[in-house]
Chain A
Amino acid sequence: MTALTTLVGPAAPLLIDNINTDLIAPMYRPAQAGILRGLAVKRGDLAGMLFAGWRYDAQDREIPEFVLNRGPFRNARFLLAGANFGCGSSRDTAALMLSAFGIRCVAAPSFGEIFRDNCFKAGMLPLVLEREIVAALAQEASGGAEFTLDLAAQTLRAPSGRIVHVEVPAFRREQLLSGADEITLTLRRSEDILAYQDRERATRPWLFLPQRENC
């Protein structure tokens, strides 16, 4: 996982509530809908697939009004979103596509929980901020000016110089700052896991099935 320490760049405002992961990470572009039905979930070009239903028309042309097709937001590093962002399907392509596009921090009043977890896995920060703060940041963002996230200091600096304190749980913060691979970290606890399993097998043997060789 790529570490996330600081992030500098424009913040794209998309202040719509309940944007689900089907919309963030569609299975195909509109132009492919007729061709690809049934061959869905081709991963292909992750950045190009982000919000494909909103970014492209049926002839695969960019829709100029959509925020990520507009000037500075083509290089957006932040997304300012409405409540319950990333609700719905558990597909982690939603986080991976945002990250591939360059957006590594989404600020919203709340998140779909599976999406939020998937963000951390993808080295992204899902930032919970009050609705009023997100709206105020969106005002500052509209010209495409730069925001700066300093994760270690837990600050988000808006173009006006306003500093917003951001609260990130220590466990998640350290994970992002170090870029450490979570599987590697957990495997260091293998003895604890095996001890847990031995203990549980003795107490509640029905939770376990006949053991097999692993490989």
Chain B
Amino acid sequence: MPEQARTLFDKVWERHVVADYGDGFALMHVDRLIVPDLTSRALTELRTRGLVLARPELVFGVADHAITTDPASDDPRGLTNPFIANLREQARHFGMTMLEVGEPGHGIMHVISPELGIALPGLTLCCSDSHSCTIGALGALAWGIGGGELTHILATQTSVQRKPKTMRITLDGRLPPDTQGKDIILRLIGEIGVAAGNGHAVEYAGSAIRGLAMEGRFTVCNMSVEFGARFGMIAPDDTTLNYVAGRPYAPREALWDAALADWRALPSDPAAAFDCEIALDLTGLAPQVTWGNNPAAVLPIDGCIPDPGNEPNPERRREMEAALAYMDLVPNRAIEGTPIDWVFIGSCTNSRIADLRAAAAVVNGRKVAESVSAWVVPGSIAVKRQAEAEGLDAIFRAAGFAWRAPGCSMCVGANGDVVPSGQRCVSTSNRNFVGRQGPGSRTHLASPVVAAASACAGAIADPRKLM
């Protein structure tokens, strides 16, 4: 009998099943585990219960949510921060690796794990963070977990999961210049809604995805969870394998050759069937920007703010009215030209070197509008140093941007980097929820080039008019 055609997801899932629990549940092996600062209490719990850390060499700690990004901080390493201090102390006790603040290797977990080669194609990786799906861009199976599950993985190196259905999203079309991975994923979520991926593992395919560099692919996979998909994957190809080659934790020499042969066989078989197929043609895609309080409330940058009066569904109409009131926006007006107070370029969605290069190209020779506070927060020490070597920091600083230290920063404000109440921010992050960037903050999600153009214009701006 010929072997059954399988998807990328099936292949990686099946090889990680330690035990089948029936009903679709399986005990899955977790090849890599990352513990961010805010959930270090899971390590404390492990210790309190007298349990052993199952595989210290496969577990990494990183201070990203709680760490200051203030370059002038008097405690740049977070020595007095209780979350970071505990993570450091527990890492020492358990013999796991702490990716120490300020040293090469430090940064946002979803930026550094591929950078260091901790994340590789075909492996499983968990972090106690919903954006773990970012790592699926390598062809890995990566998913977010809560703090309780984190303790389970620390103790056993496994996680009980129920196998989801599969969904393929085929994105074709040649992207115009000035559109990026962020525009692709925002456009997609606007089309299918914030719950379309519930219960599914998504594979992104199509020419628009193949044409993206790794940075753009990470951006796309990063926001899978924003439409309910816990897993978002892209089949490894030359772009992936060239990216992975030579990374500090990646295999070398004979082991590399063996890994390469394995990874080349991971893509979905041509005859593989998916439970659900979605296709979207992105030809002529315009830069996107959100207007409401979830990522599906999105518009092309030259579009008009929607009118709840045109919405027949009463529940949705109320939701739109509430969002417009919170965002202080007027229906039917152009979104372009809406005055802003803040710009945040950073987060696990858009803080990689290609993001900073694209933003710097817009900013070069321009000034940040006087009314705007604009920040660049690189995703890692490696990104920061690379940007500095290329002179990007000088471009940002000359324009009036603050050039900060790596961390999650203003995406979630857990370290105190918040947008003040009532102020409006164009942000390259992933969530525009009520209060996400601080109580009363108003967030417009967009790509780094839209954020850069908006910083200079002092208002939501179309980067195509600047280039």
Contact = CB atoms under 8 A, between A and B. Distances in A.
Contact of A53 (B158, B228, B315, B435): B435
B148 A122 contact: yes
Interface of B: 15, 18-19, 21-25, 27, 29, 31, 38, 49, 51-58, 66, 83, 93-95, 120, 122-123, 128-130, 143-149, 151-152, 155-158, 160, 162, 164, 194-195, 198-199, 225, 228, 230, 249-251, 255-256, 258-259, 262, 294, 315, 319, 412-418, 421, 431, 433-436, 438-440
A87 B156 contact: no
Contact of A193 (B157, B249, B251): B157
A136 interface: no
Contact of A114 (B144, B152, B157, B258): B144
B16 to A, nearest CB: 9
A77 to B, nearest CB: 21
A200 B17 CA distance: 11
| Leading 7 A-B pairs by shortest Cβ distance | A38-B416, A92-B146, A121-B148, A206-B251, A118-B146, A33-B439, A90-B130
A20 B57 CA distance: 34
B156 A183 contact: yes
Contacts of A93: 147
B2 to A, nearest CB: 22
B239 to A, nearest CB: 20
Given A38-B415, A121-B149, A122-B148, A196 B18 contact: yes
Interface of B is mostly: loop
A145 B38 CA distance: 39
A61 interface: no
Contacts of B418: 37-38
Interface residues of A, number: 62
A183 B23 contact: no
A84 B51 contact: no
A117 B130 CA distance: 12
A182 interface: yes
B21 A113 contact: no
Contacts, number: 195
B156 A169 contact: no
Given A23-B433, A110-B195, A212-B56, A206 B19 contact: no
Given A37-B418, A171-B25, A200-B29, A20 B433 contact: yes
Contacts of B262: 204
A83 to B, nearest CB: 6
A3 to B, nearest CB: 16
A83 B195 contact: yes
